[in-house]
Amino acid sequence: MSGERSGRTGRYGEETDRTYERAGFGAPVRRGSRPALVVVDLTCGFTEDSYPSGADLTAVVEATATLADAARAAGVPVIWTAIAYTGAEAEGRSVTWLEKAPGMRALVEGSRAVALDPRLPYRPEDQLVVKKGASAFFGTSLAATLVALGCDTVLVCGATTSGCVRATAVDAVQSGFPVLVPEECAGDRAQGPHDAALFDIQVKYGDVVPLADALAYLGRLPGPAVSRRPSVRLEGRPTG
């Protein structure tokens, strides 16, 4: 990524900036004292370019690992997500999305493609959401879990920026949670869709911030952000 803030205004010219300013978009979100970190789909099928659905997201994985370690130090819950389909779903027509994106049919339960990237600091006590769609909220208990944990802000990172990260950010704010997206912790298969999605999130749904800003935010939290309750598995375990 270049030094230009791809998620901020300015990338698409002054006329675009004036259009969104006139519409009243782009105000900063509030930051609560009890955030959660939601890491979206940093599974091998997305983080490794050996998979048709993937790209080399080494830098994103490393930045996210740094953020996850900082979240733990601050007492912030870390929730991971993965897309995984049964054999019947992958081969059949019950998941309409797979007709549009047939390359996703390789994301089958039990395969390495749906396992969390081994470079990530996943722990057995962490929660994992296994999902079928783009948003980590759609068809899952994520919103209820965040409420039960007392969370008031969500940091969203992962892959892909233009797909599951953006969809999760949209559903997070629609569920009542202010959203922060650390820019270095989001990645995509191509630069154009990545940049466009960050711009869209910034002006409409959340704040796209530097990783350093997110780390500083976590470091300023007043002790453990949420009580350390026994973790409850949401939808399964990492597979592969």
Catalytic residues: 164
Q: First and final CA of the chain: distance in angstroms?
A: 31
> What stretch of H or E contains 182?
strand 179-182
CA–CA separation, 151 and 113 (whole Å)? 30
Please state the three-class secondary structure of 103-130 as a single string: HHHHCECCCHHHCECCCCCCCCCCEEEE
Q: What is the DSSP string of 191-240?
A: HHHHHHHHHHIIIII-EEE-HHHHHHHHHTSSS-SS--PPP---S-----
- Nearest residue to 80 via CA among 159, 184, 4: 159
Q: How many CB atoms lie within 10 A of CB 86?
A: 14
The residues pairing with 182 across neighbouring beta strands, listed in sequence order, are 209
> Percentage helix, strand, coil, to 5, in the chain?
40, 15, 45
